[in-house]
Amino acid sequence: MPSYAFFHNKFVPLSEAKLGVMTNFFHYGTGVFEGIRGNWSSTKKQIYIFCLKEHYERLYQGCRVLKIDLPYSVDELCRITVELVEKCGFQEDIYIRPLAYKSSEALGVRLHDLEADFLVFAFPWGAYLPEKVRCCVSSWRFPREIPRAKLTGLYLTNALAKTEAAERGFDEAIMLTPDGYVAEGSGENIFLLINSELVTPASYDGILMGITRSVVIKLAEAELGIKTTERHVDRVELYRADECFLTGTAAHITPVAEIDGRKIGDGEVGEITRQLQEIYSNIIRGNNPKYSEWCTPVYKESHIAKRR
C-alpha cells in the first residue's frame, strides 16, 4: 500500500517528497522532529493516533528554540496528520514523522534569515525493540547545556551510543550525564523499580521530557497506586534495581532484562512492568474509555463499514 507525505502544503506520494541538496537543514541539523504512533485495532478496524496534540505542542516548543515560525496551528497540524493517515489507509501499526525545518537552500551556520517549512509522512512500523532488551552503559556521555527538544542535530550523540551498543552485542544504550548520573536511552526514557517505588531521572539532568514518560507516571499512580520519584539516579542503582524498563513513542514500554551483563531481577519481565505494559497497550488501541482523550481515531464510520 503506497504511503503519502504532506509536503510543500499538499499531499503527495512519499516517493515524490524530495528536498534539494543545498537545503540548510541537511547541513546543520536545523530541524525539529516528532515521532508519533498510530496503533491499529484489528477488532475495531481503526487506527488510534496516541497523544497527537501533545506531540505537536512539544514540536512548537522546539520550533521556538530554532526560531522556526510554523504557518499552521497545533489544531491544524493535528487535522493534517489525521487526513494524511486516512489517505494512506494502513491496517497495521504505523509511525508518523513530522518535521519542521530550515528550508532555504542556503549554506552558512545560523538560524536567522532562513525560511522554514513543515512536512509529515507516515509508514508501517512494528516493534522498535525486542520484547525485552539487553542494555549497556555507553561511553558516550549525554551532552551538557543543550536545549532539550527533539532537534535533529542533537541526536548525533544518541546515534553514536546506539551503534556502540549494537556493535558490542546489546540491544540498546543507556547514556550518563557529564556528572555520571543516569540520563536516558538512545531514544527512550528509563525507569527503575526500587523498593516498590518507581524512580526516573529528573528534568534537571537534562533529559527529554518524554510524552510516554509522562503517561507512565500518571498511569502508575492512577492504576497501580505507585508514585514516581524524579531524582538523580546513580549508575550502580541500575544494577541493584528490582525492575527496569524503557519508555518512548517507538519503544512503548520495553522491559530491560540485563544491563552490562548483570540481570535485572530474574532477567524476566517484572510484575509491575508487565502490569503497566498491559494497561498501556489497552489504552493506545482504544480499549479503555477512561483515557480516550489520548487517542485520536483516524477512519470514519463509513470507511470502517466498508472494511467489515
User: What pLDDT is stored for residue 144 in this prediction?
Assistant: 73
Express each pLDDT in 134-167 by its tens digit. Answer: 999 999 998 876 777 899 998 999 999 999 999 9
pLDDT exceeds cutoff 80 at 38: yes
Per annotation, catalytic residue among 150, 227, 300, 306:
150
Across 259-273, average pLDDT: 97
* Between residues 112 and 307, the one the model is more confident about: 112
User: Which amino acid type is present at position 66?
Assistant: L
Across 226-243, average pLDDT: 98
* Between residues 147 and 7, the one the model is more confident about: 7
Annotation says 150 is catalytic:
yes
Predicted confidence band at 65 (pLDDT cuts at 50, 70, 90)? very high
Domains (range + CATH), the chain: 4-126+289-307 (3.30.470.10), 133-269 (3.20.10.10)
User: What pLDDT is stored for residue 2 in this prediction?
Assistant: 80
What is residue 74's three-state secondary structure?
helix
Pick the closest to residue 172 from 142, 202, 130, 200 (CA basis).
130
User: 254 with 195: CB under 8 angstroms?
Assistant: no
Cell of 206: 537534562
Q: Taking the model in full, what pTM does it have?
A: 0.94
Predicted confidence band at 268 (pLDDT cuts at 50, 70, 90)? very high
pLDDT exceeds cutoff 70 at 306: no
What is residue 151's three-state secondary structure?
strand
Predicted confidence band at 307 (pLDDT cuts at 50, 70, 90)? low
User: What pLDDT is stored for residue 305 in this prediction?
Assistant: 52
Distance CA 87, CA 130 (A): 30
Across 168-194, average pLDDT: 97
Whole-number Cα distances in Å, 59 to 45, 62, 149, 207: 29, 5, 8, 16
Share above pLDDT 90 across residues of the chain, in percent, rounded to a whole number = 93
Across 34-52, average pLDDT: 97
Pick the closest to residue 97 from 180, 205, 6, 15 (CA basis).
6
pLDDT exceeds cutoff 90 at 17: yes
Distance CA 6, CA 83 (A): 9
User: What pLDDT is stored for residue 134 in this prediction?
Assistant: 98
pLDDT exceeds cutoff 80 at 273: yes
Share above pLDDT 70 across residues of the chain, in percent, rounded to a whole number = 97
Cell of 65: 528554540
pLDDT exceeds cutoff 90 at 216: yes
* β 36-41/262-263 pair status: unpaired
